[in-house]
């Protein structure tokens, strides 16, 4: 029985090339592993940090969101009360123009004294009259009664003594009566009036 022996002859250059290729391959594998491994390590903690920070960031937001919601509800009644009180004060001031009562001014016509009376409510002029106008005064001053009737109709309709016009034929009588009416209403005004009506004389 015969055996065949094979002899393999390797050149030194081929061995060197093989070793160099082996070393280079090992280095490439190590570099590749070192490049990919840190990327995975760095990427993996990011979700964990985000997961840890998310509850901490949400906790401070809860009181900050509830505080603005509760603040307006607490201050709203105060603002409403201030508005309603302001409106009430304005309406009360607007209504209370006069102190209710009868206010008079005295007209001196020659030697006769004629009393002009103005009756008012808190926000309304009710009537304007001459109380003691006798026949002698009517004879001497025939325009007194009709002029007062005209002025009274205008004043009661407008509820104001401003911009009241009168003709030339009774201009003096109208001016005299308007002075007496103005004096009586000045006494009735809230800001300048006493607690009870007064009687004044116009000379």
**What is the bridge-based pairing of β-strands 101-109 and 125-130?**
unpaired
Rg of the chain taking only CA atoms, in angstroms: 55
Give phi and psi for 104, each to the nearest 5. Answer: -130, 155
Nearest to 106 by CA among 42, 167, 166, 187: 187
CA atoms 127, 130, 135, 137: torsion sign? negative
d(CA 13, CA 32): 28
The answer to whether the CB of 199 falls within 8 A of the CB of 104 is yes
Full pLDDT tens readout for the chain, 203 residues: 455 666 666 578 888 889 999 999 999 999 988 888 755 555 555 444 444 444 444 544 444 444 445 444 444 455 545 555 554 444 544 568 899 999 999 998 888 889 999 999 998 999 999 988 888 888 888 999 999 999 999 999 999 998 888 888 889 999 999 999 999 999 999 864 444 444 443 33
pLDDT reported for residue 138: 87
List 201's β-bridge partners, or say none.
106
Q: Could you tell me the two tokens for 21?
A: 């290729």
Q: Could you tell me the two tokens for 104?
A: 């008079």
Burial grade of 101 (CB within 10 A; 0-12, 13-18, 19 or more): middle
Nearest to 161 by CA among 173, 169, 153: 153
d(CA 186, CA 118): 11
Q: Which fold has domain 101-202?
A: Sufe protein. Chain: A (3.90.1010)
Name the pTM for this structure.
0.49
């Amino acid at each position: 029985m015969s055996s065949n022996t094979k002899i393999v002859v390797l050149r030194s250059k081929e061995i060197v090339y093989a070793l160099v290729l082996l070393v280079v391959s090992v280095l490439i594998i190590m570099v590749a592993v070192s490049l990919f491994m840190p990327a995975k390590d760095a990427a993996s903690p990011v979700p964990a940090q985000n997961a840890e920070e998310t509850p901490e960031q949400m906790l401070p937001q809860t009181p900050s969101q509830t505080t603005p919601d509760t603040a307006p509800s607490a201050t709203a009644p105060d603002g409403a009360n201030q508005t309603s009180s302001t409106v009430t004060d304005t309406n009360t001031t607007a209504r209370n123009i006069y102190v209710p009562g009868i206010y008079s001014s005295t007209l001196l016509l020659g030697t006769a004294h004629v009393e002009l009376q103005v009756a008012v409510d808190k926000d309304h002029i009710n009537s304007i009259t001459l109380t003691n106008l006798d026949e002698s005064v009517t004879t001497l001053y025939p325009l007194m009664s009709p002029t007062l009737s005209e002025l009274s109709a205008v004043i009661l309709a407008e509820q104001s003594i401003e911009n009241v016009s009168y003709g030339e034929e009774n201009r003096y009588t109208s001016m005299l009566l308007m002075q007496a009416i103005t004096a009586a209403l000045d006494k009735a005004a809230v800001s300048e009036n006493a607690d009870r009506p007064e009687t004044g004389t116009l000379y």
